[in-house]
Structure formats: structure tokens, C-alpha cells
A and B are shown apart, each in its own frame.
Chain A
């Protein structure tokens, strides 16, 4: 029987989700960024499941089946192998799981700053766009008419 799609993830599912988030995007000393299992980022992931909850739950069930038990209890090498297998299977639920992790990770202030971007919404500040060199159009302007007249 399928669980109610509005039922929150169980503690075991949450533990697996956090683990797969870390496998997907680990912390990096080189780039000075947290992993996707960081407390703040993971809290955002959980709060943002919304309409993807059902797909994420299904993806976690697939992951658990591939792991032969709880994904989070596997050793690092086995986790990586199961994750590879999970990605290879693909499907809508796998895509949804990846998306909820990525969309929260890449809006975290620390991560956005590490990319050289400002952590803010586009509005109201906007951005500056350079005009560019309009003399590039000169050879195009010199071309003869290209569109056809019609009877």
C-alpha cells in the first residue's frame, strides 16, 4: 500500500536523504563550501519537498532496495556504488530527488558567494548589462535584402 503522499518522511527516510545529499555534493575544503548535508542546507531541503515529496519518497525506496537495507548504514565505498547504480536507473523520482537537493544547495548564501555571485533575488537590484560594440553590425547592415517579397 502506498503511503499518504502528504505524510512527512520518516526518520529513517530522512537519514537516507541526508546521506545521499552528502554523496551527491560533499563538502569541499578547496572551494570552502559545505556539503548538501549541512544543517542549514538540509533543513531547507526538508522544508522544500512540497509537491516533490511523493517522488522523493519513491526514490528513497529505490535507494533502499538497491542498498539491501538502510542506505545510510553502508560503508563509503558501497554507498558510492549504490549511488552510481541509482543514477543509472534514472527516472522521474530520481530526477526529482536530485532537483530538490540541487535547488536548495545552489541558493545557500555560502555556496552562492563561493561562485562569485551575490546571494539575493534578482529584484529589485537587477544587474548591469554592457552595451557591447555595435560596430559589429556593420557587415550585416551592408548585406542586400534577404527577405522575399510575396505576390
Chain B
């Protein structure tokens, strides 16, 4: 039998890495179980000539397409947005683009300010020191002085504007609309041993240069130096509880497929908005017949994705294309609520730069812009290198019918029931997306683009997995309390995107990691009375 540990963390991604690093200074015995492998930068797509093709294969964002042995299948047939993630040390930070805004203060008070959903039990000010700490650990690039975002001090300068950014900036200035260089998790200078970005332009399917802050190269080296053990190829099947209703450990399948029991004093879930409810719902016992920590019935409910409304077009002049990070600028012109727009809450525009020739050919063929036959070459030369576009990251409100359950048939390679997604885009979000598409067309037209294409919602756009084990002070209306401890199981904590109460209209990784650091600090401050 495995030796008892003080803290067992499940998942080594954005939040698992942060909580492991923060708790390491307690000198407790900490173990993290990760179902994937350590990644090697030499294996990443941008090392090879087939760098673009691999996003349709072993570096696809969808686990169903990628289908590595370390992935688990997800039944997302009943959703217009497919779940995307990555399973390995670093989790989905291996395959994120690194857009790194924070939630706004207003995002924590949506009911008080706008009369929708629920307020969070914590506020922006509570998280602010953890945002700052996380920016330092992650290595964030950006620029101070943004009038549309709370003050912050990114430790590195922003990515260059480039040709694409300048084109957008001029258009936005003519329209009188806000824009700002994005905060990103890309190193623009040497930072804590990380090499700076050299514009490989292929950030999402893992960064060969190591300039992108995936947690395998940020938090994990520091956590391991501080004594945390990280065990890979360990897929947790269920959390086990004792007669007192406390978590006693987990059952997992090791690298050889052998079932093991790992006892622990404290269990911390860090599997994000699909993996966490899946594990809780798979942890059924006499005492917890509806799944662990689910007396509220809310485990798996209120899934929020951030539907992406993508709009792009083509200009005459060749721009940055794939020869720069896809990240560029953001606009928060339409972020804060204005009821005159016909919807509540808001969205961020995330401006991009372009795509490589293979991606351009495949997407343009699908869109009908690229003919077969004699006209092919001429048409392609009008498209390649000339794409300019953006996505509206729309706030999704919590709706109970959007949910993660267990599929009655589908199982992973270890026979563990797979998650099933039921999701529809809400009416408020739909109106928001329509608004974003119309404004994006205004921007592209102002920037001189033609052949405008709309891709909404992005099919494989379920990057942000939020809300399925939400935080609150009322045990009947939330799964965890205001510092991440499950109401029903006093030694079980959740630190990932599933504890979001609402989604905001920004990429969530910065906030997920700040929350994880905050929960870790809350644990440290309460060690003597943690289970009271």
C-alpha cells in the first residue's frame, strides 16, 4: 500500500501546479497524481515540417480527435461547442494560447450590479495579491495604464504590435473604440531562465522555445525543488471516503494499469470544469449516492464555456500571418454592461494575426473561398498571409441545464465512465454574440478587409470549462465554500475553473491560478482548524 500523504492533488495543470507550489512551504508531504506524461519540447509540432498538420492529429485540441492513451473521451455530441483540453504535466496550459486577462471587479458582483446570476462570495480585492503573485510566477507580458482594466504591473513588456496590430489599432482609433496590447503568458524577454519568444507563431499546440508559460516549466520545477512529488500516468478513478464522511484517499490506475489506493489527509481536485465533476460523480458510495460533495445537486451543473464568435477577413497587404504569436491586442470597449446593447454583461475582443498556409488552405476550402481547379492558385495567393481577424469572448451565464454528467456507455481506456456534455447557448449570450459579430464586421471593414467570414460559435472552442462545482456560502446553492472547501466533505478542496460562480468575458487561466493560490493560502492560514 502507498504511504499516507498529507496532501494529494489530482491534476497538474494551471491550478494543480499553483496550489502545489504554494503549499510546498508548509513542509507537508504533498503528492500530485497526473494522468498524462511529462512533455518534451523536442516533440512539439513547430520542430517539424508537418507543424500545421499535427493540429489535426496528435496535437489536436479535442481529446476525441487527439485520442492519446493519456486522454479520456468526452461525449459532446449534444453541444454546439466541443470540449478542448490537454492531459499531461501542465494540463491545458500546454495547449493554450496564453491570452492572460484577469476578471474585472464587476465580474464578482454580477447580481448586485446587473441583476443576473449570483455574486461571488469573494471579491476582486481579495484575489488581487494572488493575481500579482501569479503574474510573477507565470511571467506575464503586458503594459500598464489600460483604462479598461484594473491596474496591474506585468513584469515584461508587451508583444510587439507588428503589422497586424498596427492595422487594428488604426481602425480602432478611427472608430473611437478601446484597444490595448494584450497581457500574455509569453515571455518577451528572458525571464527566470525562460527564453524569450522568437515568433514561432504556433503557440497553441505547445511552445518549442519554452517562451509560453505552461506550468511544467513555471510552477512545477519550483514545486518539485521544494519537495512536492509528481507522479505521472496515474489516472484517478474515484475519491474514497471513510465512515466519518471524510476523504480517505483515492483509487487510481498506475502506469501499468494496476489499481492502487493512495491514502491522504487532504484531497485537492484540480481537473477543471469537466474532469472535476466527472470524478466527483464517479465517486459514489452509500453515504454519497449522488456523487461526492453533491448534496446541493449542483455538481456538473451550470457549465459555462465562453462561446467564441470569430470573424475574419482579408486585406491587400501581407501582414504578420503565422510569423508571430497569434496574440496581439484586446478590446474591452464592450466589456461592461450597457443595457442599450440588448444584452447584459459583455465580451472582450481578442485580436489575432493570421494562420499558416496549410491552415489557410483547409479553412478557406471549407468556407468556399478556395476553388478546385484552375482558379485555385490565384485565389490562394489572394488569401495567404493576408488574414486579419478577431474573436468576441462572450460571457456565458450559469444555466443549470448546461451540464456535465456521466455517459451511460462511453468509458475511457481504464473502464472509467466518461463525461457527457449537454449544452446550449443561452439567449443573452446569443444576443451578445450577434453584437460582437456586427462590431467585428465594423472593425474589419474599417481596417480595409473584404471576404469577411464568420465562425460562430467556434466549434472546437470549448477551452474554458467553468462553473460545475461553484463557490458560495450557502451549502444548498453551491458545492464549495468561499475558500474552496467542499461543504459536504471537510478535507476535500477544489481549486480549478469549476468553482467559478460566473464566467466573466475573459480567458480564465489567470483567475483560475489566482484562485488556486488564494485557496492554498486559506488552507495554510487555517491548518489548526482546517476540518472544523
The reply to whether B150 and A147 form a contact with Cβ atoms under 8 Å apart is yes
A118 to chain B, nearest CB (A): 10
How far, in angstroms, from A150 to B366 measured CA to CA in the complex? 45
In the complex, B365 has a CB within 8 A of chain A? yes
The reply to whether A107 and B49 form a contact with Cβ atoms under 8 Å apart is yes
The reply to whether A150 and B208 form a contact with Cβ atoms under 8 Å apart is no
Q: How many residues of B contact A (CB 8 A)?
A: 68
Tell me the A residues contacting B by CB distance below 8 Å: 23-26, 28, 30-31, 33, 48, 50-51, 80, 83, 87, 95, 98-99, 102-107, 112, 115-117, 119-134, 136-137, 139-141, 143-151
The reply to whether B362 and A122 form a contact with Cβ atoms under 8 Å apart is no
Q: Which residues of B contact A120 (CB under 8 A)?
A: 49
Q: Which residue of B has the minimal Cβ distance to A95?
A: B366
How far, in angstroms, from A108 to B198 measured CA to CA in the complex? 24
B181 to chain A, nearest CB (A): 8
The reply to whether B357 and A122 form a contact with Cβ atoms under 8 Å apart is no
How far, in angstroms, from A104 to B51 measured CA to CA in the complex? 11
B82 to chain A, nearest CB (A): 14
The reply to whether B173 and A139 form a contact with Cβ atoms under 8 Å apart is yes
The reply to whether B376 and A106 form a contact with Cβ atoms under 8 Å apart is no
Q: A136-B161, A150-B105 are in contact. Are A127 and B323 (CB under 8 A)?
A: yes
How far, in angstroms, from A22 to B381 measured CA to CA in the complex? 18
Which among A30, A83, A126, A133 has the highest number of chain B CB atoms within 10 Å?
A126
The reply to whether A115 and B357 form a contact with Cβ atoms under 8 Å apart is yes
How far, in angstroms, from A96 to B484 measured CA to CA in the complex? 44
Q: Which residues of A contact B209 (CB under 8 A)?
A: 123-124, 126
The reply to whether A136 and B170 form a contact with Cβ atoms under 8 Å apart is yes
Extra 18 A-B pairs, beta carbons < 8 Å, given A123-B44, A129-B159, A131-B162: A28-B377, A33-B377, A48-B53, A83-B373, A102-B365, A126-B199, A126-B209, A127-B200, A129-B160, A130-B162, A132-B161, A132-B169, A133-B161, A141-B147, A143-B147, A145-B147, A147-B149, A149-B105
The 7 closest A-B CB pairs, nearest first, are: A132-B161, A126-B198, A127-B323, A122-B200, A150-B105, A150-B109, A127-B199
Within 8 A of A (CB), among B43-101: 44, 46-53, 56-57
In the complex, B108 has a CB within 8 A of chain A? yes
Q: Which residue of B has the minimal Cβ distance to A118?
A: B323
Q: Which residue of A has the minimal Cβ distance to B112?
A: A151
The reply to whether A126 and B169 form a contact with Cβ atoms under 8 Å apart is no
A86 to chain B, nearest CB (A): 10
In the complex, B166 has a CB within 8 A of chain A? yes
Q: Which residues of A contact B160 (CB under 8 A)?
A: 129-132
How far, in angstroms, from A131 to B188 measured CA to CA in the complex? 12
The reply to whether A144 and B56 form a contact with Cβ atoms under 8 Å apart is no
Q: Which residues of B contact A50 (CB under 8 A)?
A: 57
Q: Which residues of A contact B173 (CB under 8 A)?
A: 136, 139-140
